[in-house]
Amino acid sequence: MTTNADAPGEFTPTRRTKVRRHPERARYDRQTVYEILDQAFVCHVAFVTDGMPFVVPTNYVRVGDTLYLHGSVGSRMMKTLASGASFSLCVTLLDGIVFAPTATGHSLNYRSVVVLGNAKVVDDADMKVDAMRAFVEYVARGRWPMVRAPNESDMARTMVLAVPLVEASAKVRTGFATDGQEEYREGTWTGVLPLKLTPGEPIRDPRGDRAVRAPDNIRHYSRPQ
């Protein structure tokens, strides 16, 4: 199990985070969990309102052992989470399609993280601005000093939630089909088609400064793999 100074140790699998289907795909080390979290943009948050489970995509940023969410103070999801209600979130990176010799052997290669917990509203103005800075810098390092910082109105309209990373697990599928050798037959191609979220050419906002070129880290955008 790889660990480093940034992410030492392991999550203790709980009854709720222990991976039961395909336990061989489970990862509980913070290093793996954090690497997955630090590569994606969108998580899916599940919460209960009026007895009904809802799922909403939203963005996030990890800072140390805390995950931050943000959104409108009027959002149903934000209000539910702010109330202290238990919720889950999931981050999934799709890495490829697995072409197997059998119909049911077909699969997807992926890396996913599930986080369970409760959120706390970040009320302290300095901490809230720090989280907002982290959101912007997560998208592109060096962006924060280039843009207008949140003003009072932005701050009032935006809720920031902190989710301590206490109960989490990752699930990783890699490689080819796991069908038995006897299933392979002549004439059928089997293998993996890799998939990757790829940036295109930056498109300039027609309202922006025409004299400015997109910074290098936007023109040659990359996420940690």
Residues 25-64 that bind a second copy (CB under 8 A): 41-42, 44-48, 51-57, 59
* Minimum CB–partner distance for residue 182 and a second copy (Å): 10
Copy the structure tokens of residue 112: 């996913």
Ranges within 104-133 binding a second copy (CB under 8 A):
104-106, 108, 110, 112, 114, 116, 132-133
Is residue 66 close enough to count as binding a second copy by CB under 8 A?
no
Residue type, 185: R
* Minimum CB–partner distance for residue 90 and a second copy (Å): 4
* Minimum CB–partner distance for residue 3 and a second copy (Å): 26
Is residue 189 close enough to count as binding a second copy by CB under 8 A?
yes
The b/e string for 202-225 (b: 16+ C-beta within 10 A; e otherwise) is eeeeeeeeeeeeeeeeeeeeeeee
Is residue 172 close enough to count as binding a second copy by CB under 8 A?
no
Is residue 224 close enough to count as binding a second copy by CB under 8 A?
no
Q: Which stretch binds a second copy (CB under 8 A): 3-11, 26-34, 119-127, 145-153?
A: 145-153
Number of residues that bind a second copy (CB under 8 A): 98
d(CA 173, CA 164): 26
* Minimum CB–partner distance for residue 75 and a second copy (Å): 5
Positive/negative CA dihedral, 100, 106, 109, 113: negative
CA distances from 164 to 61, 112, 161, 167, 199 (A): 12, 18, 10, 8, 31
Is residue 173 close enough to count as binding a second copy by CB under 8 A?
no
* Minimum CB–partner distance for residue 26 and a second copy (Å): 14
The single residue among 5, 24, 123, 208 that binds a second copy, judged by CB under 8 A, is 208
Copy the structure tokens of residue 62: 């990890």
Copy the structure tokens of residue 195: 């998939």
Is residue 221 close enough to count as binding a second copy by CB under 8 A?
yes
* Minimum CB–partner distance for residue 4 and a second copy (Å): 27
Copy the structure tokens of residue 114: 């599930």
d(CA 73, CA 21): 37
Q: Which stretch binds a second copy (CB under 8 A): 1-9, 31-39, 81-89, 119-127?
A: 81-89
Q: Which residues contact 203 (CB under 8 A, 6 or more apart)?
A: none
